[in-house]
Amino acid sequence: MKRVLKWLLLVVVFLVVLFLIIALFVKKEYSVERNVTINLPKQEIYDYAKYLKNQSEFSVWSKIDPNMKVEFRGTDGTVGFISAWESLNKDAGKGEQEIKAINEGNRIDYELRFYEPMKSTDNAYMSFAAVNDSVTTVTWGFYGKIKYPMNFMLLFMDMDAMLGKDLEGGLVNLKSMLEG
């Protein structure tokens, strides 16, 4: 019996060490990006999208729980504005999004702080590029880091597939709303 426990302990230690070694070589960053072309001038789209409150109209994440508690702090459309949410639905959880930087008419950068069901901080952005005077490409991106040794999970998680469909869904909603 002692011999079996000793071998079992050695196998567990070996697996933990192997896990830690593999995690050293796994990427720690991820990024996901989607875009859509909208048949409107760049400024018109930017003027709508710069308001974080408007994301509740097109983001698929805001539709997860219609009873989600939402709170806003600051002046919307400016650096420092925060949109916070709290839901009993584990898919929505609890967190907040803050406007961190604005390149007027071109790009808005956000910091997302998730508190529940899992604590993490990630970044997102929306950028706007004129194709011509009446057509604009809107890009929505999400990126972040997973600390060692938890970055090991990136071997089994397809962040592009997980987040991409939600970004794409939000952009399709934005296009439908704005083009009417």
In a domain, 112, yes or no: yes
In a domain, 115, yes or no: yes
Contact between 165 and 32 (Cβ < 8 Å): no
In a domain, 22, yes or no: no
Residue-wise pLDDT for 48-59, tens only, equals 999 999 999 999
CATH number for the domain harbouring residue 115: 3.30.530.20
DSSP string, 90-154: TTT-EEEEEEEEEETTTEEEEEEEEEESS-EEEEEEEEEEEEETTEEEEEEEEEEE--TTGGGGG
Domain limits for position 116: 28-179
H/E element, 159: helix 159-179
Please tell me the total count of domains within the chain. Answer: 1
**25, 12, 15: which is closest to 155 by C-alpha?**
25
Q: What is the pTM of this model?
A: 0.85
Residue-wise pLDDT for 148-170, tens only, equals 888 778 788 888 888 899 999 99
In a domain, 68, yes or no: yes
